[in-house]
Amino acid sequence: MTTRIKRLGSILAAAALPLAISTAFAQESPPLTDEEKAKAKEIYFQRCAGCHGVLRKGATGKNLEPHWTKTAADGTKVEGGTLKLGTKRLASIISNGTEGGMVNYDDILTKEEIELMARYIQNPPDVPPEFSLKDMEASWKLLVPVSERPTKQMNKVNLKNVFAVTLRDAGKLALIDGDTKAIWKILDTGYAVHISRLSASGRYLYTVGRDGLVTLIDMWFEEPKTVATIRLGSDARSVDTSKFKGFEDKYLVGGSYWPPQYSIMEGDTLKPLKVVSTRGMTVDGEYHPEPRVASIVASHIKPEWVINVKETGQILLVDYSDIENLKTTSIDSAKFLHDGGWDASKRYFMVAANASNKVAAVDTKTGKLAALVDTAKIPHPGRGANFMHTQYGPVWATGHLGADVVSLISTPSEEKQHAKFKANNWKVVQELKMPGAGNLFVKTHPKSTNLWADAPMNPEREIAESVYVYDLKDLSKPPRRIDVAKDSGLPESKAVRRATHPEYNEAGDEVWISLWGGKTDQSAIVVYDDKTLKLKKVITDPTIVTPTGKFNVFNTQFDIY
């Protein structure tokens, strides 16, 4: 751990002290002009709200309310020292990042923007307006009615091996042919698309942007076409479809960060049908005004969605078989729920309660919590990774934003040959050493013997620009480091190009990595042979701007990871 990170850890430890000291913050917040406030508000939404919350109450990131971000006017003594936050100290944290997984912004924001944000978060947070069913109806655009769409696939593209690639800061989505590696189509979407999801049929692609815009893309046209859009609110993160037999392509559900609620729409038109608030009590018995909807997945064994409510620690099993009389099972787990995925059997959903350093496992067959598993600091699995461990049987893997390990959790199996592993179920059976913290995604494939892990949130450039590959046949060996930035052949840049989000192709023999550069730097998708780990292709183009998440159609459609 570097001296810089240790120092920042001490700063944050002081910042997180009990709020009883809030009476010390009597001085006025730093002044902002209307122009400065508007600019800072936009930067906060784009870069900060996801971890710290619209109301700045914190979740994955720290609480950023003014009662502790402002400098103590009376020089309050805390543990033998003077608590001094304020503009200078906050600017240092923003600039350098933290050991808890916050990226360093000195290569993303200008020095003036960093100083502006340090002043902005010492002012009271703005509260965005609510967003009702009528607001959704007003935003809904049915661009191509179902009757005017193709009745069969009109192109010759292998849709199963198409990759949907988020072009974060461009507010666009690139559809790339996984067979030819050619860019098939680039479409406008919401800002910073968080995920892409597929309809049960594999025909329709749905995206949701951080600005709350949902886009429905029909891939049966000669060229993919946006056929409908709708807005869920001012900040959103997740969508999924109805996958159970008889409900294919019928419904879409979307979860909002603001307002805290989820919405149900028609799957083929996005016509809004229902909005359900998630405000309420936390698992600790306290009311929370901003319980954001994090990850959503569709069950394969029931007409049911698993909806994870971040701040309350509630996991909701929502039965969509009768949306007029919605039935919901609420399961207590732990705060603050974030992302997750299915175990190999697709019976258990595993979700990171990352600020609690736990993974919650839900048995969707019984509708009950199966386990709360203690893990290393700030688990962040993405969808996680399933494989057969040579010693411990079926396991599900998660990386960590705040710890330099990948945790392997033993998961149950109904197969007789796996009965001998039962004693280890719901335990972390092994921790694989990473070169540092800052992992966002781990990934493998049923046909692979490798486990890929990134570390884009690590403050060290060499680590952030690389990925690490573990040999599943011998996990005692250290992972092999692959320098993605170097392999890309792109010219060196001042900004860090972060290697992130490994994604397999349909066949399970290639891994695609996003090399996420700055807005003005050339970025790329770098493709590797999974067996040899050798470079196969660099996909780059002036239109490939800040690529982040990539979603292979087949693997996303069938939850293969």
By annotation, the residues acting in catalysis are 48, 51-52, 102, 338, 380
Q: Which residues pair with 352 in a beta bridge?
A: 359
Beta-bridge partner residues of 460: none
Q: For residues 330 and 312, is the Cβ–Cβ distance under 8 A?
A: no
Are 320 and 305 in contact, with CB atoms under 8 Å apart?
yes
* Full DSSP string of 167-224: EGGGTEEEEEETTT--EEEEEE-STT--EEEE-TTS-EEEEE-TTSEEEEEETTSSS-
Q: How far is CA 359 from the centre of its chain?
A: 15
Question: Terminus-to-terminus CA distance in the chain, angstroms?
Answer: 31
Strand boundaries in 314-418, DSSP class E = 314-319, 327-332, 337-342, 348-353, 358-363, 368-374, 385-389, 393-398, 405-410
Question: How does 11-26 read in b/e, with b if 16+ C-beta sit within 10 Å?
Answer: beebbeeeeeeeebbe
Quote the DSSP letter at residue 400.
B
Cβ(492)–Cβ(462) below 8 Å: no
Strand partners, 329: 317
Q: Which DSSP state fits 91? A: H
Residue 276 token pair: 């359900």
Residue 131's closest CA among 53, 213, 197? Answer: 213
Tell me the residue type at 335: K
Q: If we measure between CA atoms, which residue out of 358, 370, 408 comes closest to residue 388?
A: 408
Residue with tokens 């913050």, as numbered in its chain:
25
In Å, how far are 219, 291, 524, 539, 544 from 183, measured between CA atoms? 14, 38, 12, 9, 10
